[in-house]
């Protein structure tokens, strides 16, 4: 990378000019701001204590040294102690000629080291996937792909929360109000039927609570004392005691849900290397809790419940096993973490989970550390903010969530309507048009969500996400299709990208695109280090925007100079290739024509 060369020689310059050793990593170099001439900028101020000169004088000396030592550099200028360095056109054209056909450009060779295990999705089997799950899945999938592009071996895993009080609520509701209903008889997906049971339970529970409150009971006591809640708790206890009828109903209803989940995952383009089930891992968690109790790391209350006391570490007390012997989420997370460590010996254990669980993962890491699992420090919570809608937050129990399947259907209809209106499918047959609408709708959905920094809350606006001229997936998809159309037309005129190094003048727009392409490997590294697909999303939008400006301002097929035309076709080909590569990291397909 030219930045590394500049950084190393700048450090050498300080050694030669001022007899002082400065490590290259202490040379601060960044891209030059667009309102100044230059490609890279060095901050001179950290070296003034060494030079004991004015900033501009020091910058002048370092700049001249760099011009003498680095032939790729053409010029420099100084703005208030900042050294702006201009890289010669020959470097950029040479880079384009060398890399434009490299389909793996920006990506690292797969390492032979320990894998990164990333958990995402983690649905409950009491409701269908919704918009919040979509953000989780898209972030998880994209982070995994970005880590793979950075050379990591990655295992994508899913932990299905298939047991617990929430599951029993849906099961109890089915027994009471849906007993003769199945997905086939109701002509619905299994996850949706179970979700209806869950909502019905909440509705009936509220009725019971209201009666108890009218009788003078507090809301908290009423919710705990309601007959329905007592029945759900009893069912949970029967499940843990392996009651045959409860277990059979549980297996049947979970199977319905999994069939529904698979359809949604398939449409989203989501797949996993391994799926874990809480029902298989919670017992290991309970064993580890008993181990901690014997070690004296955990303590037991008089009622028999088991706790971790972390007050000395600035946290609080956390229950790990209830008085009746049933486990909690933390228990199964302890078991699952141990299982994954034993299975993969990973370098990192990533959990893509909403930011409302930040405290949960602080506690998980601390408990595991207290239990002697030193690998707990390798646990990383990839936290993300909530998805909000123009009309407010979603609530699963009240049935006000945005169903993932319905959202994708609505996005498809909107994409179809807008694409037809704009003539994007005029040259396509029915099947091709349908594939295009699906590609556009999913591209809009995925890009709109992934362009936002995962740590931030976001407002999802479906209509805004499908705009062929905005900061959207369809705009980027259209840019790729536009380039493919250009290359096809060029081929019909016997013009094609060429391997020779272009030696003519490079237009500022051309250079800006090449510089963006050159930065792609660093973008992937940064996105991997931050676990943030938004860095890739920002990059590919900037690339598409710059290319469209170039396309509007500069002639390609009508260029009279054959060398220039070939150079611009090479630039176009490389741009399309990198757009496709970057969008793949976001889980988005790009069309060949639109």
Give me the sheet containing 73-79, strands edge to edge: 29-31, 40-43, 82-87, 73-79
Q: What is the pLDDT of residue 133?
A: 94
Look at residue 407 and tell me whether its pLDDT is greater than 70: yes
At residue 397, the pLDDT reads 44
Question: Which of 326, 409, 404, 397 is closest to 131 using CA atoms?
Answer: 404
458-491 in b/e burial notation, b at 16+ Cβ within 10 A? bebebeebbebeebbbbbbbbbbbbbbebbeebe
119-137: per-residue pLDDT in tens? Answer: 999 999 999 999 999 999 9
| Confidence band for 186, pLDDT divided at 50, 70 and 90 | very high
Mean pLDDT, all residues of the chain: 94
| pLDDT exceeds 80 at position 265 | yes
CA dist 485 and 587 (Å) reads: 23
Q: Is the pLDDT of residue 585 over 60?
A: yes
Instruction: Kindly state the percentage of the chain with pLDDT values over 90.
Output: 87
Can you tell me which residue has the tokens 């209806």? 196
pLDDT, residue 399, reads 47
pLDDT digits (tens, 9 = 90+) for 135-184: 999 999 999 999 999 999 999 999 999 998 999 999 999 999 999 999 99
Region 234-248: mean pLDDT is: 94
Asked whether 586 and 537 are in contact (CB, 8 A), the reply is: yes
| 391 confidence band (pLDDT: 50, 70, 90) | low
**Average pLDDT of the segment spanning 499-510:** 88
345-362 confidence digits (pLDDT tens): 999 999 999 999 999 999
Average of pLDDT values for 388-417?
75
- 453 versus 390: which is more confidently predicted? 453
Digit-coded pLDDT (tens) for 50-76: 999 999 999 999 999 999 999 999 999
Q: Structural domains in the chain?
A: 2-87 (3.30.1360.70), 120-388 (3.40.50.620), 404-585 (1.10.730.10)
How much is the pLDDT for 34? 87
Please give the average per-residue pLDDT across 571-582, as a whole number: 98
Identify the helix (H) or strand (E) that includes residue 118: strand 116-119
C-alpha–C-alpha distance, residues 69 and 72, integer Å: 9
Q: Work out the average pLDDT over 281-290.
A: 93
pLDDT value for 400: 55
Report how far Cα 401 is from the mean position of its chain's Cα atoms. Answer: 21
């Amino acid at each position: 990378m030219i930045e590394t060369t500049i950084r190393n020689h700048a450090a050498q310059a300080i050694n030669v000019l001022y007899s002082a050793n400065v490590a290259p990593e202490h040379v601060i170099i960044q891209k030059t701001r667009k309102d100044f001439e230059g490609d890279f900028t060095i901050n001179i101020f950290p070296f003034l204590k060494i030079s004991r000169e004015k900033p501009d004088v020091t910058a002048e000396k370092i700049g001249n040294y760099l011009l003498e030592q680095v032939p790729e550099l053409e010029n420099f200028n100084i703005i208030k102690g900042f050294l702006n360095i201009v890289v010669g056109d020959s470097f950029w054209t040479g880079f384009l000629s060398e890399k434009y056909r490299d389909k793996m450009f920006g990506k690292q060779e797969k390492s032979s080291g320990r894998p990164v295990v990333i958990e995402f999705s983690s649905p409950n089997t009491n409701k269908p996937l919704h918009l919040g799950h979509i953000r989780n899945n898209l972030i998880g999938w994209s982070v995994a792909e970005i880590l793979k592009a950075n050379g990591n071996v990655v295992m994508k895993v899913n932990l299905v929360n298939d047991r617990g009080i929430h599951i029993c609520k849906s099961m109890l509701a089915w027994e009471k109000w849906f007993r003769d209903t199945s997905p086939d008889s109701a002509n619905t997906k299994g996850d949706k039927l179970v979700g209806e049971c869950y909502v019905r339970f909440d509705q009936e529970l509220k009725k019971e609570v209201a009666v108890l409150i009218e009788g003078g009971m507090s809301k908290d006591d009423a919710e705990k004392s309601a007959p329905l809640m007592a029945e759900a708790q009893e069912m949970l206890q029967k499940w843990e005691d392996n009651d045959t009828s409860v277990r059979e109903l549980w297996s049947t209803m979970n199977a319905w849900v999994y069939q529904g989940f698979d359809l949604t995952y398939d449409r989203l383009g989501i797949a996993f290397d391994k799926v874990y089930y809480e029902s298989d891992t919670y017992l290991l968690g309970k064993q580890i809790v008993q181990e901690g109790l014997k070690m004296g790391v955990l303590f037991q209350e008089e009622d028999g419940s088991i706790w971790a006391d972390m007050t000395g570490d600035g946290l609080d007390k956390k229950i790990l096993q209830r008085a009746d012997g049933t486990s909690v989420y933390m228990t199964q997370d302890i078991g699952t973490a141990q299982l994954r460590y034993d299975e993969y010996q990973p370098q990192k254990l990533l959990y893509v989970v909403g930011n409302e669980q930040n405290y949960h993962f602080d506690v998980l890491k601390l408990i595991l550390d207290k239990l002697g699992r030193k690998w707990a420090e390798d646990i990383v919570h990839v936290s993300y903010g909530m998805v909000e809608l123009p009309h407010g937050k979603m609530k699963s129990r009240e049935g006000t969530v945005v169903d993932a399947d319905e959202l994708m259907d609505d996005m498809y209809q909107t994409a179809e309507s807008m694409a037809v209106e704009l003539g994007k499918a005029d040259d396509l047959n029915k099947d091709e048009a349908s594939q295009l609408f699906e590609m556009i709708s999913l591209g809009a959905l995925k890009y709109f969500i992934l362009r936002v920094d995962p740590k931030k809350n976001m407002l999802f606006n479906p209509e805004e996400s499908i705009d062929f001229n905005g900061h959207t997936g369809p705009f980027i998809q259209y840019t790729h299709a536009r380039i493919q159309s250009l290359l096809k037309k060029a081929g019909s005129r016997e013009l094609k990208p060429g391997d020779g190094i272009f030696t003519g003048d490079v237009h500022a727009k051309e250079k800006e695109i090449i510089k963006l392409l050159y930065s792609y490997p660093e973008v992937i590294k940064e996105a991997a280090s931050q676990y943030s697909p938004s860095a890739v999303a920002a990059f590919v939008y900037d690339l598409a925007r710059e290319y469209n400006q170039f396309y509007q301002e500069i002639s390609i097929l009508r260029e009279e100079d054959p060398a220039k035309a070939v150079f611009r076709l090479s630039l176009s080909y490389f741009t399309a290739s990198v757009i496709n590569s970057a969008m793949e990291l976001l889980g988005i397909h790009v069309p060949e024509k639109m």
